[in-house]
């Protein structure tokens, strides 16, 4: 099992580490990296300008938005061009695999980034994005939220500092839910190559009567993955904090977890554990909903 198509949204410096992470994951295969840039539609800014503005003021604002879009697009394309130049990855016109080596393509669409990524991500095996910065409702958080909850695909979130290799020591945050099961399925290509896999269970009232870690490790063995199981009491710390603390103790370079939300509203009201992992994770986190 291997990832064949990895979607990498490119709009900032996070795109650099995301592209390199994608290439590292695809090494030894003929998978494809689709670098995806979404340019904002400047005309969408008009309704937000407010009433009472003159036509010339509105036109000026649109011109400024166009210039900003041009600058962002040039910067994103420069990131991609530098990446392929430094890595000698073959650039193709569209999504394709073959030839025994990874390939890459560049794609640009106009519109809202979160909507476009949610749509495009449905035809990828994996989406790689940087850890969001700023407020909860900011553009980067909205894009990550759309990737996780609107694509039915696993999303790999990268911190500012990415380990040289992702997936040598993997911790699976297992609570027996369908979200966790989908995360495990989405991470299978990485789990199969890992040197160490730990099925971590945090004992809480909600975990009672759900399928346990023994069943998970038994299932993983059928795929040739010898995972060990570890159970930790939650104690007084929040579950998310307990998970990240354990990852540090074993020097994990990948956390696999289900993603949860309390709302489908655009305001992005995430479940407590998911919210903490997104904000505080020090290692790559593969999430699926």
Whether 86 and 65 map to the same domain: the answer is: yes
Q: What is the pLDDT of residue 58?
A: 65
**Is there a single domain that holds both residue 210 and residue 149?**
no
C-alpha span between 179 and 30 (Å, rounded): 29
pLDDT confidence tier of residue 267, bands split at 50, 70 and 90: very low
Say whether both 218 and 112 belong to one domain.
no
Do 174 and 268 lie in a common domain? Answer: yes
Lowest mean pLDDT among 75-89, 145-159, 189-203, 264-278: 264-278
* Shared domain check, 94 and 48: yes
Q: How confident is the model at residue 141 (pLDDT cuts 50, 70, 90)?
A: confident
Place of tokens 């299978």: 188
Q: Which of 108, 136, 158 delimits the end of a domain?
A: 158
Instruction: Grade residue 268 by pLDDT with cuts at 50, 70 and 90.
Output: very low
177 plus 72 within the same structural domain? no
For the entire predicted model, the pTM comes to 0.90
In a domain, 14, yes or no: yes
Lowest mean per-residue pLDDT among 38-52, 75-89, 242-256: 38-52
Q: What's the rounded mean pLDDT across residues 104-127?
A: 96
pLDDT at 204: 67
What is the band of 94 on the pLDDT scale with cuts at 50, 70, 90?
confident
Q: Is there a single domain that holds both residue 127 and residue 219?
A: no
The answer on pLDDT for 49 being more than 80 is no
Please report which confidence band the pLDDT of residue 74 belongs to, taking 50, 70 and 90 as the band edges.
very high
Claim to verify: residue 29 and residue 138 sit in the same structural domain: yes
Q: Are residues 128 and 176 in the same domain?
A: no
pLDDT of residue 275: 86
CA–CA gap between residue 245 and residue 277 (Å, rounded): 11
* Number of domains the chain is built from: 2
- Highest-confidence segment of 9-18, 126-135, 169-178: 169-178
- Report yes or no on 50 lying in a domain: yes
Domain boundary among 133, 158, 183: 158
When the pLDDT of each residue in the chain is averaged and rounded to a whole number, the result is 87
Predicted pLDDT at 4 = 95
188 and 263 housed in the same domain: yes
Domain assignment present for residue 163? The answer is no
Whether residue 48 has pLDDT greater than 60: no
Q: Which domain holds residue 76?
A: 5-158
Residue 17 falls inside a structural domain:
yes
Has residue 175 been placed in a domain? Answer: yes
Q: What is the DSSP string of the chain?
A: ----EEEEE-SSTHHHHHHHHHHHHHTTS--EEEEEEEE--GGGGGGGS-TT--HHHHHHHHHHHHHHHHHHHHHHHHHHHHHHHHH-PEE-SSS---TTS-EEEEEEEES-HHHHHHHHGGG-SEEEEEPP-S-TTSHHHHHHHHHHHHSSS-EEEE-SS--SSSSSEEEEE--S-HHHHHHHHHHHHHHTT-SEEEEEEEE-GGGTTS--HHHHHHHHHTTT--EEEEEEE-TTS-HHHHHHHHHHHTT-SEEEEE--BS--STT--B-HHHHHHHHH-SS-EEEE-
Q: Is residue 164 part of a domain?
A: no
110 plus 190 within the same structural domain: no
Domain of residue 179, CATH code = 3.40.50.620
Contact residues for 94 (Cβ-Cβ < 8 A; gap 6+): 105
Q: Are 3 and 34 in contact (CB under 8 A)?
A: no
Final residue before a domain boundary, out of 100, 129, 158: 158
Same domain, yes or no: 144 and 251: no
Within a domain: 203: yes
Rounded-to-integer distance, Cα 111 and Cα 51, Å:
23
């Amino acid at each position: 099992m291997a990832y064949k198509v990895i979607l990498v949204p490119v709009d900032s410096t996070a795109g650099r580490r995301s592209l390199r992470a994608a290439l590292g994951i695809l090494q030894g295969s003929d998978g494809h990296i689709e670098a995806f840039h979404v340019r904002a539609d400047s005309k969408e800014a008009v309704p937000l300008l407010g009433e009472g503005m003159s036509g010339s003021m509105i036109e000026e604002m649109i011109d400024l938005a166009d210039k900003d879009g041009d600058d962002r697009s040039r910067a994103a394309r420069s990131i991609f061009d530098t990446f392929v130049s430094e890595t000698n990855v073959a650039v193709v016109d569209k999504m394709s695999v073959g030839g025994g080596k990874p390939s890459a393509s560049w794609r640009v669409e106009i519109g809202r980034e979160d909507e476009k990524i949610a749509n495009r991500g449905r035809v990828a095996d994996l989406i790689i994005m940087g850890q969001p910065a700023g407020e909860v409702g900011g553009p980067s958080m909205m894009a990550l939220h759309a990737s996780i909850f609107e694509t039915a695909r696993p999303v790999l979130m990268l911190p500012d500092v990415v380990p040289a290799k992702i997936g040598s020591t993997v911790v699976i945050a297992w609570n027996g839910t369908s979200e966790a099961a989908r995360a495990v399925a989405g991470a299978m290509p990485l789990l199969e190559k890992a040197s160490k896999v730990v099925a971590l269970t945090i004992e809480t009232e909600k975990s009672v009567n759900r399928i346990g870690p023994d069943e998970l490790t038994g299932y993983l063995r059928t795929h040739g993955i010898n995972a060990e199981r570890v159970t930790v009491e939650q104690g007084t710390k929040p579950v998310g904090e307990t998970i990240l603390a354990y990852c540090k103790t074993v020097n994990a370079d990948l956390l696999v977890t289900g993603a949860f939300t309390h709302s489908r509203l655009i305001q992005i009201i995430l479940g407590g554990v998911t919210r903490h992992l997104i904000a505080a994770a020090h290692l790559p986190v593969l999430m699926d909903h």
